[in-house]
Amino acid sequence: MESVGFKEWAVVCQALGEGRHSIILRKGGIAEGREGFSFKHHDFFLFPTWFHEQPQKIRGPAVEMPKQLAGAVEIRYAAVLDLARTITSWAVAEALAPLHNLKSEVVRDRFEYEDQPALHVAFVRIYRTNPVWTLVDEKRYGGCRSWVELPDVPADLQLEPVLSDAEHAARQREFANTLARA
């Protein structure tokens, strides 16, 4: 597993870690650089963030916001990228709604951000870290960027898949079928 973190809303990290969905939608952060955003790492740790009034932007039952530790970041989940696509059709973005928990207006805002409507979508397999990897929250982790370099991965860190192979394969088929139909 690469020692890199993907910054994502804590409520999205939690939903992925609980197996509620298997896709990540991203437009990119302000500080992504000239090339813009891409899913440039095949495997990465989910680095939870607590910005942008997250619970109000999530669909479904009331979401309990994960606790933020003062001065620390808990890495509870890792992801392996199975497939990444750039979606340039709003119809395709809408068709993905059953596969994630973001409200439609949040997806629309991300899709229409800046001058070229598009959205990056990744289908990922999520793994639970054991033990939880706790990092000191440092200034270098801040800012509006998606990727952060992490310290060396602890030698004793183990990864356990959140979904069974069969569940993961079924979701992968559903994702591929949704993209094909839209």
- Counts of helices then strands in the chain (DSSP H, E): 4, 7
Ramachandran angles phi, psi of 13, nearest 5°: -55, -45
Domain residue limits, the chain: 4-181
In percent, how much of the chain has pLDDT > 70? 88
Answer yes or no: are the C-beta atoms of 47 and 5 closer than 8 Å: yes
Report the C-alpha gap between 107 and 10 in whole angstroms: 17
CA of 18: how far to CAs of 83, 126, 161, 163, in Å?
Answer: 20, 9, 11, 9
pLDDT tops 70 at residue 61 = no
- What's the whole-number mean pLDDT along residues 76-82? 97
Q: What average pLDDT does this structure show over 47-67?
A: 72
Report pLDDT digits (tens) over 152-175: 999 999 999 999 999 999 999 999
Based on its alpha-carbon atoms, the radius of gyration of the chain, rounded to whole angstroms, reads 16
**How many degrees, rounded to 5, is the angle at CA 108 between CA 103 and CA 112?**
155
**pTM listed for this prediction:** 0.89
